[in-house]
Amino acid sequence: MSTETLRIVWIYPDLLSTYGDRGNVLILARRAQQRGFRVEVLEVRSDQQLPTTADIYLVGGGEDGPQALGAQRLLADGGLHRAVAQGSVVFGVCAGYQLLGTSFFAKGTQYRGLELLDLSSDRGPTRAVGELAGDIDARLGLPPLTGFENHGGRTHLGPGVSPLARVTAGIGNDGASEGAWRGKLLGTYSHGPALARNPALADLLLRWATGAQQLPPLDDTWSDRLRAERRTAVAAARA
Amino acid sequence: MPLRAKVASSVSRTAAALSRAAGRGDGSVIGGWIGLKIDPDLLAHLSAGRAIALISGTNGKTTTTRLAAAAVGVLGRVATNSFGANMPTGHTSALAKAGSTPYAVLEVDEHYLAQVVEATEPHVVALLNLSRDQLDRAKEVAMMAQLWRAALVRHPDIRIVANADDPMVVWAATPPATHDQRITPPHVTWFSAGQRWHDDSWVCPECGSTIQRSGEQWWCTGCPLRRPEPQWTVDDEGVLDPTGAWYKVKLQLPGKVNVGNAATALAVAAEFGVRPFDAVPRLGDVTSVAGRYAQVEREGRLVRLLLAKNPASWLEAFDMAEQAPTLLSINARDPDGLDTSWLFDVDFAPLRGRQVLITGDRAYDLAVRLEVNDVPFQHVRTFDDAVRAVPPGRLEVIANYTAFQDIRAELDRVN
């Protein structure tokens, strides 16, 4: 953290906020505040310049047109690349995850991505819609991922990234792996308010941003109940 | 009507009556389903000879249809699908049940508008709004606007009554050659009913540039698409018509949103030659719409039902609800959409200071949302538990689709 205040940037809510992506901003801010951090949230619209010194950058989901436009603006702006070079945390969701890679498809055309993660996305044979669950990379020390996915893409990981999780329900990248991470950059197909169902993932991003080895536990009664209910629902659907 | 259509229509009515008698529902879908099996062109046959208005959009279409049917009723009998069965089966049932009427006002699911336009050859189509709704299975907003536009461009003879405040609607209502909105095509009438929800129209559907807003105005920064000057507007509990005449609109339905719906209904009725002066008193007779806004007494509590299916309609429900204990109920069954992510697109802050109860299949999703929103709440297992948990007096109930129907069933299918 470069200053006393944790700075969270929500990238282009005018373009990339289709599925309750605001939830991730709200959850990160709240969980940081509950640990005594001062938090500043900046919503940066696509006609504004991206600040380069924030601690966490969030890139959300979006329809094809806004996704292509968002990637084009981020490439032209260059701010996110400078922030990453300085060690900022980036969390990408769905369309926001795809555009962190080298290329993605929107409206039948291949677009250049930000090349921040070694992965590329194309179109799958079917749309992936439904519950998504997976066991997260053991090195990250997190409980299983739970979420909802809704995307037409398939994502192929290069050697420069690790999968975020091994899929136990749903499709994720390709039916086997889900999401990707490298350093302090992390992306997932668990769309919208992914952190609502995965508070431990929110805390991982906060630890990366603050350098804290551990954060005091919080009362997660309601998210624990939600996670248990979803786990049961996914198991019942499979039985 | 051809013999096959007559038989189909008769069987359709019988099936609907049987369904109601058996307590299986309103009978508003099954009758049409059977009728269309016998005669696939039944909807077209039942439409012939009627002057028809279609009303479509993401939100407000059931209420606006009820209000427009009341307004057109000035002229004579009106067939309408008043139970919210808004797909071709529902339209077929409604027309078969009504028998011969000079007019029909039909609510149409936005996905079916093109198909129903072809089948019914309407005199007027009203386009209310387009916003995100059940994105796990519904078309994305821009795609829906494209489908509307493609359907309407083939029928320049149809009168269009459209919402000037929604960029997606304005674009869909206007043929490609005339998207400079300073020139309104002669068959389009614009109304302004306000738009609280802007988060699905920041990107121009024509050119992909950013749409800017200032007050009630909006314009594209990259092409001529901009807010057209509306002919019908809403103003302090009243409606201004295209001549500038103001009519006080006293509704029994709550909220500013419904004054906007009333303005739309008056604009639709005017396309049939109804004068607002004659129609306004009839709008005040509408008390509830397929259970929406219905009030029921239960153990000393006056329970009012508000339906909220998507982020835009939640904002409207908060505007309608009184400062009173409020029960929120959320399901995520097929008709609701399986994804609850939209809960984070709704700001529940207006509920702070009220006693808030939550229930429904997906109450835990709502619990997590409300916690982050700093809205204290109490989780209850059933509707009855909620009734007992609040003091005598008003209880506002805001629920999404199947949760609303569950509670309505507990209240004996109140209309």
pLDDT at B337 over 90: no
- Is the CB of residue B376 less than 8 Å away from at least one CB of chain A? no
Q: What is the mean pLDDT of residues B319-328?
A: 92
Architecture of domain B47-82+99-283: 3-Layer(aba) Sandwich (3.40)
Contacts of B142 in chain A (CB under 8 A): 63, 65
pLDDT at B182 over 70: no
User: For position B205, what pLDDT does the model report?
Assistant: 87
- List the CATH code of the domain at A5-238: 3.40.50.880
Percent residues over pLDDT 90 in chain A? 90
User: For position B184, what pLDDT does the model report?
Assistant: 66
Contacts of A27 in chain B (CB under 8 A): 372
Classify burial at A36, counting beta carbons within 10 Å of its beta carbon; exposed 0-12, middle 13-18, buried 19 or more.
exposed
Q: What is the mean pLDDT of residues B331-338?
A: 90
Quick one: pLDDT band at residue B32, thresholds 50, 70, 90?
confident
- Is the CB of residue B203 less than 8 Å away from at least one CB of chain A? yes
CA–CA dist A99, B102 (Å, integer) = 55
How far off is chain B from A50, nearest CA to CA, in Å? 17
How far off is chain B from A24, nearest CA to CA, in Å? 9
| Spatial contact of B163 and B191, defined as CB atoms under 8 Å apart | yes
- Is the CB of residue B207 less than 8 Å away from at least one CB of chain A? no
Residue B156: partners with Cβ closer than 8 Å, 6 or more residues away: B175, B185, B187
Could you tell me how far CA B168 lies from the centroid of its own chain?
16
Contacts of A197 in chain B (CB under 8 A): 368
Chain A residues near any Cβ of chain B (below 8 Å): 14-15, 17-23, 26-27, 30, 45-47, 63, 65-66, 69, 129-130, 148, 150, 191-193, 196-197, 222-223, 225-226, 229
pLDDT at A59 over 60: yes
Residue type, B325: P
Which residues does residue B341 pair with via DSSP β-bridges, in sequence order? none
Asked if the Cβ–Cβ distance from A26 to B373 is below 8 Å, we say yes
Residue of A19, A150, A222 lying closest to B371 (CB–CB): A222
Percent residues over pLDDT 90 in chain B? 59
Selected residue of A27, A63, A191, A195 to mutate for chain B interface (largest B Cβ count, 10 A): A63
Percent residues over pLDDT 70 in chain A? 99
- Is the CB of residue B285 less than 8 Å away from at least one CB of chain A? no
Contacts of A223 in chain B (CB under 8 A): 368
| Spatial contact of A67 and A94, defined as CB atoms under 8 Å apart | no
| Residue linked to tokens 């700075």 | A7
Contacts of A26 in chain B (CB under 8 A): 344, 372-373
Asked if the Cβ–Cβ distance from A23 to B341 is below 8 Å, we say yes
| Spatial contact of B92 and B13, defined as CB atoms under 8 Å apart | no
User: For position B270, what pLDDT does the model report?
Assistant: 97
User: For position B37, what pLDDT does the model report?
Assistant: 75
Question: Which tokens is B331 given?
Answer: 């399901």
Q: What is the number of other CB atoms lying within 10 angstroms of the CB of residue B380?
A: 20
Q: What is the number of other CB atoms lying within 10 angstroms of the CB of residue B292?
A: 21
DSSP state, residue A51: P
Q: What average pLDDT does chain B have?
A: 88
3-state secondary structure of B48: coil
- Considering the entire predicted model, what is its pTM? 0.81
B:112-141 residues touching chain A, CB 8 A cutoff: 132, 135-137, 140-141
B218 phi/psi in degrees, rounded to 5: -145, 155
User: For position B179, what pLDDT does the model report?
Assistant: 53
B110 phi/psi in degrees, rounded to 5: -60, -30
Asked if the Cβ–Cβ distance from B365 to A196 is below 8 Å, we say yes
CA–CA dist A181, B323 (Å, integer) = 47
Asked if the Cβ–Cβ distance from B344 to A191 is below 8 Å, we say no
What is the C-alpha end-to-end distance of chain B, expressed in Å? Answer: 33
CA–CA dist A53, A65 (Å, integer) = 28
pLDDT at B127 over 60: yes
pLDDT at A58 over 90: yes
CA–CA dist B258, A190 (Å, integer) = 37
User: For position B183, what pLDDT does the model report?
Assistant: 57
Give how far Cα B119 sits from Cα of B48, B92, B115, Å.
9, 10, 6
Quick one: pLDDT band at residue B142, thresholds 50, 70, 90?
confident
Contacts of A22 in chain B (CB under 8 A): 344-345
B138 is in an annotated binding site: no
H or E element in which residue B344 lies: none
Q: What is the mean pLDDT of residues B41-67?
A: 93
Residue type, B188: V
How far off is chain B from A81, nearest CA to CA, in Å? 24
User: For position B391, what pLDDT does the model report?
Assistant: 96
User: For position B30, what pLDDT does the model report?
Assistant: 75
CA–CA dist A143, A198 (Å, integer) = 8
User: For position B7, what pLDDT does the model report?
Assistant: 74
Domain B295-410 has CATH 3.40.50.261: no
Contacts of B338 in chain A (CB under 8 A): 129-130, 148
* B349-366 confidence digits (pLDDT tens): 999 999 999 999 999 999
Q: What is the mean pLDDT of residues B121-128?
A: 97
Better pLDDT: B337 or B290: B337
- Is the CB of residue B378 less than 8 Å away from at least one CB of chain A? no
Q: What is the number of other CB atoms lying within 10 angstroms of the CB of residue B247?
A: 18
The residue annotated as part of the active site, out of B199, B285, B334, B339, is: B339
B159 phi/psi in degrees, rounded to 5: -75, 140
Sheet holding B103-108, edge to edge: B78-80, B103-108, B51-56, B124-127, B159-163, B188-192, B232-235, B238-240, B246-248
Q: Which residues of A are catalytic?
A: 94, 191
- Is the CB of residue B277 less than 8 Å away from at least one CB of chain A? no
Task: DSSP for B92-161, please give it.
Answer: HHHHHHH-S-SEEEEEE-GGGHHHHHHHH--SEEEE-------TTTSPPHHHHHHHHHHHHHT-TTSEEE
Question: Which tokens is B235 given?
Answer: 């103003």
Quick one: pLDDT band at residue B18, thresholds 50, 70, 90?
low
How far off is chain A from B136, nearest CA to CA, in Å? 6
Asked if the Cβ–Cβ distance from A193 to B341 is below 8 Å, we say yes
* B256-291 confidence digits (pLDDT tens): 889 999 999 999 999 999 999 999 999 999 988 877
* B284-321 confidence digits (pLDDT tens): 999 888 778 888 899 999 999 898 888 888 988 998 88
pLDDT at B35 over 80: no
Residue type, B405: Q
- Is the CB of residue B342 less than 8 Å away from at least one CB of chain A? yes
Residue B209: partners with Cβ closer than 8 Å, 6 or more residues away: B203, B220, B221, B222, B223
| Binding site per annotation, positions of A for substrate | 127
How far off is chain A from B272, nearest CA to CA, in Å? 39
User: For position B326, what pLDDT does the model report?
Assistant: 97
CA–CA dist A46, A66 (Å, integer) = 10
CA–CA dist B362, B262 (Å, integer) = 34
Domain boundaries, chain A: 5-238
Question: Which tokens is B225 given?
Answer: 């698409």
Domain boundaries, chain B: 47-82+99-283, 295-410
Q: Which of B183, B220, B222, B228 is nearest to B202 (CA)?
A: B220
